[in-house]
Amino acid sequence: MRVLKFGGTSVANSERFMRVADIIENNARQGQVATVLSAPAKITNHLVAMIEKTVAGQDVITNMLDAQQIFADLLQGLSVDQPGFDYSRLKSFVEQEFAYLKHVLHGISLLGQCPDSVNAAIISRGEKLSIAIMESVFQARGYGVTVINPVAMLLAHGHYLESTVDIAESTRRLIELDIPKDHVILMAGFTAGNDKGELVVLGRNGSDYSAAVLAACLRADSCEIWTDVDGVYTCDPRSVPSAKLLKSMSYQEAMELSYFGAKVLHPRTIAPIAQFQIPCLIKNTSNPQAPGTLISRESGDDRYPVKGITNLNNMAMINVSGPGMKGMVGMAAGFSL
């Protein structure tokens, strides 16, 4: 079993969606795979903006229309590119989701605030739609599909908008599923369920974490994060054209880089796969033949004296010093921002 995860840019339009389906299908021929999907690019940002604007009493029509157009273009393209794609059913499903969204936003406008539980339900709609669309693509290709419901299968603790998955309990739930060996497995990223059965989210850009958790629960042979770059670079190639691609790195190195600004991985992705020694491969959806970067327990690529350079924006460091501070207990408590 392998787990594949595709981010928002990988499913941003019909052409890329079809490429992702091809990658999943090619991998499924080599053995069963479970796939985690993000929302199409820009969708979650539109959903967040709609909540914020509604609370502020502002018009959301531009964000609403833009989000609807992304899905309209996606479905229209797939109806042309994928024979047998059930366009009518998916169009109706998307319309129902946006009708629900408008209804909930109206309630938020009356209330003047958005409870965190409602916020989580809204900002996770994109992942739900990605899975429904991909399921239809594979059904059109003649595959059996099993969709894992993360709200029922992944138990998480914490805040509605930043929960952490209980891997032990989630593993127990998942191993009880009787999934046919020839089925394509799909699961929406970013979401889980709390002990009340309510939907919670795993923090912004949390689909990487979803994939790592699923890989840990299934004791997968590997976890592959498919994104829009060839792997992990020594620094951001968009800022430094001479950045070098790393062939491999250790879990610890990847964790350090992700926590200090590297965008290719969500900071919480590494812990679940490191716990169970599951190799993680970073691959490019647009360049699937590229080797990518392998993250494992091994020390990693040692061709360069510095493994990586990252940056954190909008940060400030304040240094407070003085002779009267030496040996004084509790000085830090006197400062706040």
pLDDT tens digits, residue range 213-236? 999 999 999 999 999 889 888 877
CA distance 123 to 291: 33
Is the per-residue pLDDT at 254 higher than 90? no
pLDDT higher than threshold 90 for residue 309: no
Q: What percent of the chain has pLDDT over 70?
A: 89
Q: What is the arithmetic mean of pLDDT over 128-132? A: 98
**pLDDT at position 122:** 98
pLDDT of the residue at 146: 98
What's the whole-number mean pLDDT along residues 242-254? Answer: 87
pLDDT per position as a tens digit, 181-202: 999 999 999 999 999 999 999 9
pTM for this model (two decimals)? 0.89
Would you place residue 21 in the very low, low, confident or very high pLDDT band (cuts 50, 70, 90)? very high
Which whole number is the average pLDDT over 31-42? 97
Mean local confidence (pLDDT), 311-329: 69
**H-helix or E-strand spanning residue 188:** strand 184-188
Q: Count CB-CB contacts under 10 A for residue 5.
A: 29
Average pLDDT over residues 67-93: 98
